[in-house]
Amino acid sequence: MVAAKLALGTVLTAALLSTGASPAAALTAGEPPVSARLSGLSLFEGSVKIKGQAQKTGYYCAPASSSIVLQVFGIKRSQDQLAKEMKTDPKAGVTKRRDTLDVLNKHLKPKGYMFRLTYGKGRPGALMLRVSQAVGVLKRPTILAVQGNKLPWSKADRTYGHAIVAYGYDKAKGTITVWDPNAAKGALGSHVISAKALAAVVNDLPDSKMGGVYTLSKPLLPL
Q: Is the confidence at residue 119, as pLDDT, over 60? A: yes
Give the pLDDT confidence of 149-177 residue by residue, as tens digits: 999 999 999 999 999 999 999 999 999 99
- Is the dihedral angle over the CA atoms 25, 27, 29, 30 positive or is it negative? positive
All structural domains of the chain with their residue ranges: 2-38, 45-217
Q: Measure the CA–CA gap between 91 and 175, rounded to whole angstroms.
A: 36
Q: Measure the CA–CA gap between 178 and 163, rounded to whole angstroms.
A: 10
* Per-residue CA distances from 42 to 39, 139, 159, 178, 214 (Å): 9, 10, 34, 18, 17
Angle of the 61-72 helix axis to the 97-108 helix axis, nearest 10: 20
The number of C-alpha atoms within 13 Å of 108 and in the hemisphere containing its C-beta is 27
∠ CA 60-49-33 to the nearest 5 degrees? 130
- Is the dihedral angle over the CA atoms 28, 33, 38, 43 positive or is it negative? positive
Give the pLDDT confidence of 86-114 residue by residue, as tens digits: 999 999 999 999 999 999 999 999 999 99
User: Phi, psi at residue 144, to the nearest 5°?
Assistant: -125, 130
Architecture per CATH, 45-217: Alpha-Beta Complex (3.90)
**pTM of the complete model:** 0.81
